[in-house]
Structure 1
């Protein structure tokens, strides 16, 4: 049953989200126009809207129309009761400054105009080459969001031409389709509103936000109330209450600036970043340090997949005055955005506002279309108070490489349709239009009209979504709660551990926590053999004497349940001599542990440089490269599906006690393109390690198995030259090993950069070295089509080994032996494929951050 309290609460939320008011910018390059109106008009807040007629281009063939029905939740008749209808592509043209960004707002009220069916309206909106909306249905969106009208806000780069053209294009995918718009705002904004944002997950990598166009997805006054545009700092923005977006019952506590706290912008921060009202309120975790250490203050937002997002955090310390009193970590989608955030250390004083921008990529793996923002006290910094604080939050979507900002239409769930039917049976539709004052009266305590229908839909939606988890992606501006995302708080899964355990139990061995503790001497520090992004790696003993590597989750790790599940699924289904073997797992009492074969000789990298290990001989290096190539060749061709590793590097090639190379770390792996469907690549966001990244994949975000080939080419030169893939301490031209090695080879001076230990050892057959370096160079071709397959790479390395072992023999003999070795390897592929054919298929590969290296791992 839906109580009156639920309805009233929903109506209050609805009134906050729908009753948006504005202030008129005084800038001469700013426009506020009512579309489809011959004279414009004044809205209920006294704001003047001009007619749109003078801004239409000469080729326009549009029609003016008036809405046949006024929904009582509309804030004003202007601009929503008039509309411009387009049956073919038509444009508006505005004269603007070529030096300032433009804030563009589009207003839509989907209802019947001139007897047109609003459900037939699908259209695109393009502004100066950027696609703002594609196949957009205001009707579907309004139904999904339970709102009468829709507003979309964009920030566009300065137009060099001095003009802004906004074109409305009816969709060709639907019969009787038309485009429409009710109101357009174009407001000049400072060109420096955005600065480069740190891209989380990539060291020292930033996103040049100022060169991109953006869509505003969320704008929240954290810990405070709704802020109308009349109280905004010159840009007519609306700030919403953050509480509907909080995850779970952990709401924390809210506070506001006391009488003795004066909030003042610092000299370097302009007031237009956010109004003072945002910085005068805050949300923190609460007074109990023990409770605070065991949960995250978390917000969840539904977004469109396959875009980069900038998350802007607004901070202002309102209570504390000293550094290290309140220090906390910031996480975005379980990845660390900022360690040891301290508002006082950043701002220098209490009551001083500041903001920080971080960029993150949201892809479509596992249907992930959410951004999780989480704050947690920095226990390692030992602050005076174990707490965190946030004053405001904004999320912006950046255009992709095609200049696109458009996401898909939401899919109205059955629960909303059921709620509408239930509402219709209890409430009668309004007999006639009501004024704004009457709408407020309804919200205050009545029961009737579309606002109540929307409120009932909203309550049912929230209740069912809390119970069942989110359905399809809902758009921005709707208060959303999300339960379906698996979250790890202090190392404990919020959702069913039983699901992971039951899934994993059918794939590999389950260990009890007592077995794990016994095998590691209760996780004794003397057993630690490495530390990585997921946690510590221990040398352990199981079954009375078998040595294993045991990887234990760190509760504060930025990696979590998804990676745990991915590693189990991947390595349990893949079996090959040159792939690392997963023995089993443990998930008990909040612990997440993986058990692997023990790799006695660690990673390949630690035998090349920056360690005290004896140098490898040339033959050893060749055999290790061949082993790794065999493992990758199996992934590309021998497994049931093509698998692209996506993070090939020397720390992900492990060596057992017999120096057999095994490829590890499958957290970024992804199934390859479906050849039967004529796919040539997989479109996905760029992930991997700098220095090894395929430049074509980086530019185009199109992944193929040739991306692994490029990374392996870097590995080959790393083996030959015994230096890192990137070394920032070297001269600029030498920083990238790939670029420097190719340069030296073309100049005929490759011998000058070869590992000195190789030069001092037994001489290398020149033909062998030539074949090896030639293979590495071909792997590093700029275009994937020009690179060899991993099978070709493997054969060439087999050939190089035969040339090394038969320095005085004929090349034909070496070729025959290479053919024999390659044929034997291919025969094992068939055996391996048959052995895994009965197992579950590898089709749900997780592309999240990796479970990186088993021995002496390094964080990504």
Structure 2
């Protein structure tokens, strides 16, 4: 009896399990997904956030002309190897068929990593993407887009209108506009999402709205305003969205203050705002204008975004008031593209009580007229007419969506590419042929000349349009397009903005508009309140501290000494110069702080310190001769770019071994631009200016005549070369009179044939005689009394690269003796007629591959 009962129990249990499985299967079929697909992957894999990516193979309708491939290079900035290191390559039209619930809005995310796959050139990839009859991308180049944004990978996110059929068809096809083109994709994500889009008020037309719900949208921007980056795994609503810091998009001097809700403040959703709208972390942080109402009435809190022209955009504002609790305490006006989107906004009035999130959508059409310049401006200003208790504004989050046009199109044009190398380009550099064939040498000369001249041509031709943004409310402000990595800072009235004194603000709108503005609190926290144990250097400007920002990024914090002779002008010049320049061999300025009388600059941390520390006056390891040569070459590349590669000639004016820094890979980077000057124009031979610089390195002609040219830097660099060779200071007053100046003493010894007696004894047996001869000859020419007799930095670099060849491969280097340096002027005249879109350079940004250095492109057969 017990046995029969037990059998009956197991039968019932089995039927229960089967029924439950069948029910779950039906639920899964009616609401499949989300789909997170790693394209080209052979099996499931997890990314760095722990999300599982499935293989895409069973979702392809046809894989006949689709191949799988692995990227040849993993860019360090990739967030994860999955899904970016595998790709699906298409040489003809192919479609992904994905089952989705009927009548549900969908979130589609496409991932692209333009690298080298199966020896395919990423520059040849142009393609389109159509999803359920909406054109998402057209003639799209992921390679160009990545270079323009200086990013390694691209993510495109779309919100698709509900599907009637229960199918999502994503069709990818090579562009017919480009011969030999191919398409590729690395990752596809598909999520079912609630319809969170209601009709949006059309800015400028109070009685009109835009039907957003029936449109297909592209996410242009998603910002956690006043807060930090929120990763996909920390998003809410099961949509895996990423929220970014708003700092890079801020415009103007007064970026306001950020705040965070106290732990005891409860933030809770309402019936109108659920977790699918935004995570609570967005509503727990905010940016407001600051505590000084008088100041707030004289400026707007403003953000600027680059968008595609001739489309309608929906701007979604997220609000949550967690500081105030009464009506009319904080009332403000909202402007979109210089038009009033919302007068007298009162968050408490909208939400009904504090701690309750609300959002507002406004639609605006961006035309291609000059006044818009493909930018979208968002501004907020206290509503003085309402006489609120506090003249202030607040914002917690911001999203911008592009709506499809009447033809169902969302695709914009490819952007103007930047010269920052992508992963694919880096792979090309490392795979450079080692062949010393003379044909390769000639090709290198031609390619180098072309790069040099194209850079010159494009710098003249391509200049960004300047845009003035005039506000109809109190005050006005104007400025240029804000780079994605910068925030602006302009002089303001003598009062406090965001808790910092602006009475001593000396930065022009241009200077502060190109890099990040740190608060003094961030600087003190990152440097442990300027702990003396963190001092890593002391210079004419002040002490330099090792610090940490953004939770772990190492930086160098240069703090001005109030008694220093280098002050306001040097501070401003450093920001103006470095924030506009990007080069592998120039130190990167991250940002600045100007609060409470402090003038502080924040740079990338250079792990190996200054060049001088490794030559003498330090306990650092001795550098080998080859490493010293490579460092000199790197510094010469940086200086050559300043002289010829930027928009204007830039003269450093303080070239010395303490201003040549070494990163963790021993790459040389020129630093300290506080004394830099813009060089003469085409109608001038020099710049007349007061003599500034460091004794021992000063150009005697500049000192005598107070006429500055780029050859003054060449002279200083000549001193550096002898300093590297001899490992002794440029000036040493303790030595006999004839030996005090290194430049004079080295030239004297060289002419007497006694140079070997003053070479760093630690280099004994390391220097090839031919290399020493070429190196010392180069240094000697740099130190010529008259600037006209000195070589250009390009020629100095040419000779140093040749010296390195003589050091490493003296027999092979003999092949280069017959190769003359190219005639840059002749090449320029010839190449003015050339238009090479694949090599177009940015206005003020370059890398070694485009610096105009001809010999450095073709001599170094080891690859870079």
| TM class by smaller structure | 0.3 to 0.5
Q: TM-score, normalised by structure 1?
A: 0.47
Q: TM-score, normalised by structure 2?
A: 0.47
